Amino acid sequence: MRHRVLSTTFGRSSAHRKALLGFLVCSLIEEKRIVTTLARAKAARALAERMVTLARAGSLAARRQIIATLRRRGAVKMLFEQIVPKCQDRAGGYTRIMHLGSRRGDAAPMAILEWVSIAPVDKKKKQPPAQAEAKPAPARAQAAAR
Residue 17 to residues 76, 87, 121, 140: CA-CA distances in angstroms? 19, 27, 27, 50
Average pLDDT, the chain: 89
Q: What is the pLDDT of residue 144?
A: 64
Segment 3-24 shows an average pLDDT of 93
Domain 14-120 class, CATH top level: alpha beta
Q: Per-residue pLDDT for 137 more than 70? A: no
Q: Would you call 121 helix, strand, or coil by DSSP? A: coil
Q: Per-residue pLDDT for 12 more than 60? A: yes
Q: What is the pLDDT of residue 142?
A: 62
Segment 29-42 shows an average pLDDT of 97
Whether the Cβ atoms of residue 28 and residue 48 lie closer than 8 Å to each other: yes
Question: What are the sequence ranges of the domains in the chain?
Answer: 14-120
Lowest mean pLDDT among 47-56, 120-129, 130-139: 130-139
**What's the pTM value of the predicted model, to 2 decimals?**
0.80
DSSP string over 76-94: HHHIIIIIHHHTTT-SS--
Q: Per-residue pLDDT for 132 more than 70? A: no
Q: Per-residue pLDDT for 28 more than 60? A: yes
Question: Which tens digit of pLDDT belongs to each residue from 61-88?
Answer: 999 999 999 999 999 999 999 999 999 9
Segment 97-106 shows an average pLDDT of 96
